[in-house]
Amino acid sequence: MRRLPLVSVLAIALASCATAPTPAPTPAADAAARVPSQLPRHTRPLHYTIAIVPDAANLRFTGTTTIEVQVLEATDTITVNAAELDFREASIASYMEDGRISPIGSATREVRVDAENQTATVGFGHRIEPGRYRLRFDYSGKINTQAAGLFALDYHDESGPKRALFTQFEAPDARRMFPGWDEPAFRTPYDLSVTVPAGQQAIGNMPEAGREVQADGSAIVRFRTTPAMSSYLLFLAVGEFDRITATAAGTEVGVVTRRGAGEQGRWALQSQVQILPWYNQYFGTRYPLPKLDNVAGPGTSQFFGAMENWGAIFSFENILLVDPAITTEARRQQIFEVDAHEMAHQWFGDLVTMAWWDDLWLNEGFASWMATKATAALHPEWEPLLGRIDGREAAINLDSLATTHPVVQHVTTVEQISQAFDSITYEKGEAVITMLEDYVGEAAWRSGVRAYIARHRLGNTVTDDLWGAIETAAGRPITQIAHDFTLQPGVPLIRVESAQCAGGRTQIALRQGEFSRDRPDKQPLGWHVPVIAAAGGAPARTLVEGGAARLAVAGCGPLVVNYGQTGYYRTLYAPPLLARLTENFARLRPLDQIGLLADNWELGLAGYQSPAAGLDLVEAVPADANSRLLTRTASILIQVYRMYEGDPAHEAMVRRWAAAKLGPALRQLGWSARPGEPANDAVLRATLIERLGDMSNPEVAAEAARRFAANDPSVVAGPLRETILGAVAYNADAATWERLRVMARDERNPLVKGQLYGLLGFVRDEALARRALDLALTDEPGATNASRLISAVANVHPDLAFDFALAHRERVMGLVDASSSSRFLPGLATRSSDPAMVEKLRDYATRYMTPQSRGAADRAIAAIEDRVRVRTQRLPAITRWLEARRS
Ligand SMILES: [Zn+2]
């Protein structure tokens, strides 16, 4: 699964708790037997045949599921997972010697439903002996309006209102469409069929095997049998679709959209054509299914952007389709990267699957890492490796607070599974894999991955299976390093205590501590930390063990530790060393510039050094810097700007500084694309307009307003449309906001509509923000846009949004996916700087959250306390620096 893109999230910026101790990983052989589970192990499924008849208009469906099972120990009951299914009938039959089946007892069996544990138990009234049986369930269920189980997405096209159906089963929601063993270790083949109304299509994991047209024009569509796979990867979609296809290395790839939007999938299709052969080669195993679709769903989710169902990826439209009217360059790049992420899962996750959710990180961290790697290989001009630092920073941001958790976390409940999808799982996972790949070398790492895929194909694994394969390929141990970074939480701090030049070499002394924003005095944990350093000559490597290391590097130039930024740690330089780097900043490589800036800004905020060190580096960023360095500079400037909320004099001071730092680059780029310009220039242009607009930069706000009032072509359509409208919305007065609202209401294109409703919430004026919140509870925005609107308000007015959502809790929760329910409200509050919010969140958690699900609230509290602490303790020094700069 791919979470929402970093740029547009806040709700998913926090989650999870997992204070339970992490058990040592178990070997793969007995993994399935030892994973925690709600289901007894005396019976296992061998094959499913599932027939679904949707009644889309009434949001109900009927289903028949027949499961071939193996009973391993005599039992008088069988328990399966089931959620919100109404059972009409259940029966069991045994296999005769000749392969025929023979019913046991009466056709109808009692089914006991345990709603809380999401199970159903069939009783037989007597013991059945070990052997093969056929279990059959007839039932009906609910079609949801949020992405869980079988769900509906409504939209309009030229011919009127439409409803399409899709499934979303990860982590534990297959049980909402069929009863069964809804745990990843149970791999079986599936035969799926669905009754489709006349004029509609169905998409499944596999190509269609046959179609039986009924008297009323509907058709029963049967899909080919899947390979043995986990329940969470099964997929079904039904609706009025277009499907465009191409062939990549002999495999049919397709993009499926609502009818009429097929061509908008062209970019994604071309991306798949590029990516699939590259993965065939990297993994050393060909893509294993006959086809690979990517299916676009109208609307958005608070929880995720895309899902790696085997052979039938699902993506929300905004992360799959390119609409020339609105798609930004950044989004085009993101569509490629998300496609690459989901396609990596087709091997790593689908062909080889984690045995249990404890190892979700490996699935997600690997797919994130692989997506960056494939993007760097196929689109080096986008410089995705520089973007990796954004992921590292997102992870450290969570991992440096007491509320963090280890990458590998022990998961026992449904709620904990959904909370596990956080920046630690994804971005720290990617960062740790990046570090380990760099440690063993690219070729050895790839050999290890190939061996792992070949050995475990169609099987389940634990994390140590991968470490073992890499060690064998590399001929050197990595398990200790890997365990240090995955089984214990937190961020190492590497202090560069001294550096002496002698004989053309620099002798450096390193000491390992721990970077913590809320417990600076805590006793540091110990890590084995791979460190690379360079001082103008060839880089040198060492492994910091036992808390310290010495290293000699060639050259006597400015010393860069974490050279290449592949290490997951912060680097704290002795002041003279940092001063030298600051002086020579413009001459460093962009990767190291970005890493150095990020490290030193955060070290200053956390009190390890003066915040002036980071501000000096911001000042040292040249006007013609790499676009990603300017992007990071802009994000620091806006962070400083927001610290002065309610202090207009200092806000103005930061606004002027930002104009001086970023204005020249925007003037150089202009507001219109130049023919043949690099793709990242287009990204930077949008970023600069957005960031300066968010600081109410007078020139940017005026230019955006002018274009909006004049109905300039750039506002009507094109890659800057969203950016300009964002600047307009943020600085809007009532009349402007109303005009935007009418645009949103009248818009038919669901992609554009969603975007416009998001913008309506992103408004500086508090009275307008209140109107946006009220609007979210009307029928106007539509179910999936309403929560987006509330989240947008929370970006600017977190306290207002939280108070509103709390006052209308029942209705607001109805707008959010079940999987986001425990994190949505805390997510709204997380940007607050008000100490009073801490108490409000504690109170909320006590009233509405179970101890297992309060992780999201705890993390929001930690983030707010950190922000309050920074304002109290660091802002005075930042103010002194700003005032000295002015004079
Ligand atoms: Zn994923």
Is 60 exceeded by the pLDDT of residue 106?
yes
The total number of residues written for the chain in this structure:
887
Distance 306 CA to ligand 1 centre (A): 8
Is 90 exceeded by the pLDDT of residue 573?
yes
Rounded to whole angstroms, the Cα distance separating 240 from 320 reads 18
Distance 704 CA to ligand 1 centre (A): 37
Closest CA to 427 of 401, 400, 395, 399: 395
Distance 86 CA to ligand 1 centre (A): 32
Is 60 exceeded by the pLDDT of residue 601?
yes
Distance 349 CA to ligand 1 centre (A): 8
CA distances 580 to 56, 321, 709, Å, are 66, 47, 49
- What are the pLDDT digits (tens) for 272-300? 999 999 999 999 999 999 999 999 998 76
- What pLDDT does residue 38 have? 72
* Residue whose token pair is 């930069």: 697
Side chain identity at 765, as an amino acid letter?
D
- What pLDDT does residue 582 have? 98
Rounded to whole angstroms, the Cα distance separating 255 from 272 reads 9
Distance 270 CA to ligand 1 centre (A): 21
- What pLDDT does residue 150 have? 98
Phi, psi of 397 (to 5 degrees): -55, -40
What is the residue-averaged pLDDT of the chain?
A: 91
- What are the pLDDT digits (tens) for 660-712? 999 999 999 999 999 999 999 999 999 999 999 999 999 999 999 999 999 99
Distance 334 CA to ligand 1 centre (A): 14
Element containing residue 533 per DSSP (H, E): strand 529-534
Confidence of residue 823 (pLDDT cuts 50, 70, 90): confident
Query: Taking CA 248 as the corner, what is the angle to CA 242 and CA 249, rounded to the nearest 5 degrees?
Result: 155
Distance 3 CA to ligand 1 centre (A): 7
Selecting among 183, 342, 364, 393, the annotated active-site residue is 342
Distance 308 CA to ligand 1 centre (A): 7
Rounded to whole angstroms, the Cα distance separating 228 from 231 reads 10
Beta-strand pair 75-81/131-142: unpaired
- What pLDDT does residue 853 have? 76
- What are the pLDDT digits (tens) for 433-468? 999 999 999 999 999 999 999 999 999 999 999 999
523 burial via Cβ count (<10 Å: 0-12, 13-18, 19+): exposed
Rounded to whole angstroms, the Cα distance separating 633 from 8 reads 18
- What are the pLDDT digits (tens) for 508-567? 999 999 999 999 899 999 999 999 999 999 999 999 999 999 999 999 999 999 999 999
Residues 6 or more apart from 588 whose CB is under 8 A from it?
Answer: 558, 560, 581, 596
Rounded to whole angstroms, the Cα distance separating 33 from 816 reads 35
Is 60 exceeded by the pLDDT of residue 7?
no
Residues 6 or more apart from 676 whose CB is under 8 A from it?
Answer: none
Q: Would you say 367 and 344 are in contact if contact means Cβ atoms under 8 Å apart? A: yes
Estimate to the nearest angstrom the gap between the alpha carbon of 654 and the chain centroid.
Answer: 32
How many CA within 13 A on the CB side of residue 731? 24
Q: Would you say 234 and 160 are in contact if contact means Cβ atoms under 8 Å apart? A: no
- What pLDDT does residue 108 have? 66
Distance 344 CA to ligand 1 centre (A): 8
Is 80 exceeded by the pLDDT of residue 27?
no
Q: Could you check whether the bond before residue 171 is cis, i.e. omega within 30 degrees of 0? A: yes
Distance 391 CA to ligand 1 centre (A): 14
- What pLDDT does residue 496 have? 98
Task: Please compute the mean of the pLDDT values over residues 307-312 and round it to a whole number.
Answer: 98
* Residue whose token pair is 């990020």: 598
342 part of the active site: yes
Phi, psi of 805 (to 5 degrees): -65, -35
Distance 2 CA to ligand 1 centre (A): 4
- What are the pLDDT digits (tens) for 218-234? 999 999 999 999 999 99
Distance 8 CA to ligand 1 centre (A): 17
Distance 343 CA to ligand 1 centre (A): 9
Tokens matching residue 637: 């400037």
Distance 171 CA to ligand 1 centre (A): 11
Distance 307 CA to ligand 1 centre (A): 7
Query: What percentage of the chain carries pLDDT values higher than 70?
Result: 94
Distance 820 CA to ligand 1 centre (A): 16
In order, the DSSP letters of 152-176 are: EEEEEETTEEEEEEEEE-TTTTGGG
Residues 747, 752, 758, 760: is their CA dihedral positive or negative? negative
Which own/partner contact pairs does 657-660 have at CB distance under 8 Å and 24+ positions apart? 657/882, 657/885, 658/634, 658/691, 658/692, 658/695, 658/697, 659/692, 659/697, 659/699
Closest CA to 435 of 484, 400, 364: 484
- What pLDDT does residue 298 have? 87
Residues 6 or more apart from 648 whose CB is under 8 A from it?
Answer: none
Side chain identity at 861, as an amino acid letter?
I
**Across the strands, what pairs with 74?**
none
Helices and strands in the chain, H and E counts: 30, 30
Distance 817 CA to ligand 1 centre (A): 18
Phi, psi of 106 (to 5 degrees): -75, 160
Distance 341 CA to ligand 1 centre (A): 6
- What pLDDT does residue 107 have? 58
Element containing residue 548 per DSSP (H, E): strand 548-554
pTM of the complete model = 0.91
Distance 169 CA to ligand 1 centre (A): 13
Tokens matching residue 544: 């910091």
Distance 425 CA to ligand 1 centre (A): 10
Q: Would you say 355 and 185 are in contact if contact means Cβ atoms under 8 Å apart? A: yes
- What are the pLDDT digits (tens) for 321-367? 998 888 889 999 999 999 999 999 999 999 999 998 888 888 999 99
Cα dihedral 238, 240, 244, 247 in deg (nearest 10):
30
Distance 862 CA to ligand 1 centre (A): 26
- What are the pLDDT digits (tens) for 713-749? 999 888 899 999 999 999 999 999 999 999 999 988 7
Q: Would you call 735 helix, strand, or coil by DSSP?
A: helix
Task: Please compute the mean of the pLDDT values over residues 123-148 and round it to a whole number.
Answer: 91
CA distances 751 to 34, 530, 650, Å, are 45, 45, 38
Distance 350 CA to ligand 1 centre (A): 11
Confidence of residue 23 (pLDDT cuts 50, 70, 90): very low
* Residue whose token pair is 């002996």: 129
Confidence of residue 30 (pLDDT cuts 50, 70, 90): very low
- What pLDDT does residue 66 have? 97
Task: Please compute the mean of the pLDDT values over residues 757-775 and round it to a whole number.
Answer: 95
Is 70 exceeded by the pLDDT of residue 11?
no
Distance 676 CA to ligand 1 centre (A): 34
Confidence of residue 36 (pLDDT cuts 50, 70, 90): low
Side chain identity at 782, as an amino acid letter?
G
Task: Please compute the mean of the pLDDT values over residues 478-506 and round it to a whole number.
Answer: 96
Rounded to whole angstroms, the Cα distance separating 149 from 297 reads 14
Distance 503 CA to ligand 1 centre (A): 50
Choose the weakest-confidence range: 57-71, 471-485, 776-790: 776-790
Closest CA to 397 of 15, 872, 820: 15
126 burial via Cβ count (<10 Å: 0-12, 13-18, 19+): exposed
Rama region for 284: left / alpha / beta (φ>0; ψ in -120 to 50; rest): left
Is 70 exceeded by the pLDDT of residue 235?
yes
In order, the DSSP letters of 248-299 are: ETTEEEEEEEETT-GGGGHHHHHHHHHHHHHHHHHHSS---SSEEEEEEESS
Rounded to whole angstroms, the Cα distance separating 359 from 365 reads 10
Choose the weakest-confidence range: 120-129, 493-502, 512-521: 120-129
Rounded to whole angstroms, the Cα distance separating 685 from 721 reads 12
- What pLDDT does residue 353 have? 96
Closest CA to 236 of 223, 225, 227: 223
Exposure string (b/e) for 612-626, b if CB count within 10 Å is 16 or more?
bbbbbbbbbbeeebb
Rounded to whole angstroms, the Cα distance separating 104 from 797 reads 63
Residues 6 or more apart from 54 whose CB is under 8 A from it?
Answer: 60, 61, 143, 150, 165, 194, 195, 238
Closest CA to 293 of 277, 316, 314, 307: 314
Residues 6 or more apart from 342 whose CB is under 8 A from it?
Answer: 2, 294, 306, 307, 308, 313, 315, 367
Is 70 exceeded by the pLDDT of residue 269?
yes
